[in-house]
Structure 1
């Protein structure tokens, strides 16, 4: 095992451990809220689904790729490989929908009274919840393609028929077919990315207008409430920017793996690292002090001054 594989193994191991710690911490926050008898809101539900999706990504991509980087091989059979890649695709899809739903929901919540989106505040909760559950069904169906072409690790004499992923193999197609397959599966991702960018742009516009108005308002109570809402909005904007950055890096690695006939193990390590970055860092963004939606809702429950749908 070369120095490069050892280095990637250390990085992937640290990334996976940090990701599990972060998501477990965020999960314990919601368990605490449930034990305290607090009613779950729409953002709580979205983040809980995001936690589940993060765990799927860490378990099904971070852990196996870490084992490969440390020199372990052939620890999955055909069924295991199919399920690991299938669940990873499902988790990845739900992750992007959850992040998109968070940004859209908060964009609706902070919309001004004169905005056309302000009338959707009362219905946003039902629509967002339905979207999350619908996304599970959609990606459970779309990801079934993985069950058809993924298989267990193959020997070197079958290298011309299968593409090796270290711990699993895939039936080899021509590069054009692989790119077409990635493009078809990317349609929901592109749609969600577009909605996220739209919501982020709208939130930036609202924050700018809020900053302009606050220059003429001196009341402390109003400023405190608006400031808390602004910090929550900035947290979601950071979450969206992080997702878009890591998603772009992941797509580049996936395209390279698809078009290269025999990709190197280092490329697979880099692709796994890019895919697991968001599940690793997203819980820390959501827990970053009082600037998170969690803290916003928790503060609202205590003070009972701010009512969210």
Structure 2
């Protein structure tokens, strides 16, 4: 095994071994809140979908990549390649969709002060719920093309019309088909990314205006009313900015992979690695900003007393 392959294998292993337990810990935290309090905030509900998408991405990309770099190249048959590629595409779409709807929901919350209008809040929550589920359905449909394009490495003697992706092959087509295939896969991504950027820009403007208003208002009144919303907004903006940074790199790599007839080994690995960065960092960004998650992790280092649970 070459040194470069060993380093890449260790990198993918590190991303997987850090990201999977981190996401499962945060998912368990939200499930614990739901069981003990029988309710979740709307943002928490969307974050659960994001965490599930992160877990699926790490399982479908991080684990197979790690195994393949340690010498086990032919780990999938044809159906294995098709299903793992399909699930990865769906989870990637669910990730961008959840992040986008999360930013849109928070923008509407701080713009229209939903906390003062419970009926409007319920309607927006239902709309976001339907949008998240619809997003899963759309990506289930568009990602089904993986069942046509993906092949296993073993059992395919002729690789003339196949692109190599470490442990699987993708069928080559003419340039027109490749462009249409790229548009089909990236079209929904661009729409959701546009919504995300619009919502994030609106939130930045709202926070700026609020900061200007604080100069003319009592500091105690302003902080008591807006500090929870401001903290939630800043958390989502941090999440969105991190996602957009990694997603831009991943999308550029995926774009060139779709168009190039014979993509290089380094480009393939860069695309795979960039798709794992956000799912790995996401739970730690959320835990660092969510005081409930931090207190939950500290409390569960030891067995909690019944009285402590009742107070929380």
Contact 1:23 1:283 in 2 (8 A): yes
CA–CA separation in structure 2 for the residues paired with 1:130 and 1:164: 38
Contact 2:235 2:289 in 1 (8 A): no
Contact 1:253 1:271 in 2 (8 A): yes
Q: Which residue of 1 aligns with 2:64?
A: 64
SS at match of 2:111: coil
Q: Which residue of 1 aligns with 2:184?
A: 184
User: Normalising by structure 1, what TM-score?
Assistant: 0.87
SS at match of 2:37: coil
Call closer, same or farther: CA 1:7–1:43 in 2, change over 3 Å: same
Q: CA deviation at 1:89?
A: 0.7
Q: Residue deviations 1:237-260, cap 9 Å, x none? A: 111111111111011111222333
Call closer, same or farther: CA 1:164–1:154 in 2, change over 3 Å: farther
CA–CA separation in structure 2 for the residues paired with 1:214 and 1:169: 58
Contact 1:253 1:267 in 2 (8 A): yes
Q: Residue deviations 1:63-105, cap 9 Å, x none? A: 1112222222111111111100011111111111100110000
Q: Which residue of 2 aligns with 1:76?
A: 76
Q: CA deviation at 1:264?
A: 3.0
Q: Which moved more, 1:227-236 or 1:198-207?
A: 227-236
Call closer, same or farther: CA 1:119–1:213 in 2, change over 3 Å: farther
Q: CA deviation at 1:60?
A: 0.9
Contact 2:150 2:171 in 1 (8 A): yes
Contact 1:5 1:266 in 2 (8 A): no
Q: CA deviation at 1:284?
A: 1.6
Q: CA deviation at 1:149?
A: 1.4
Contact 1:65 1:269 in 2 (8 A): no
Contact 2:68 2:75 in 1 (8 A): no
Q: Which residue of 2 aligns with 1:47?
A: 47
CA–CA separation in structure 2 for the residues paired with 1:234 and 1:36: 27
Q: Which residue of 1 aligns with 2:275?
A: 275
CA–CA separation in structure 2 for the residues paired with 1:99 and 1:176: 31
CA–CA separation in structure 1 for the residues paired with 2:281 and 2:141: 28
Q: Which residue of 1 aligns with 2:260?
A: 260
Q: CA deviation at 1:196?
A: 0.5
Call closer, same or farther: CA 1:276–1:28 in 2, change over 3 Å: same
Listed as ranges, the gaps of 5+ residues in structure 1 are 296-301, 304-309
Aligned residues: 294
> In the TM superposition, what are the counterparts of 1:146-225 in structure 2 within 5 Å?
146-154=146-154, 157-220=157-220, 222-225=222-225
Q: Residue deviations 1:161-194, cap 9 Å, x none? A: 2112111112121344223311221111000011
CA–CA separation in structure 1 for the residues paired with 2:224 and 2:11: 41
Contact 1:94 1:135 in 2 (8 A): yes
Call closer, same or farther: CA 1:113–1:165 in 2, change over 3 Å: closer
Q: Which residue of 1 aligns with 2:289?
A: 289
Q: CA deviation at 1:290?
A: 4.0
- Greater helix percent: which structure? 2
Contact 1:231 1:291 in 2 (8 A): no
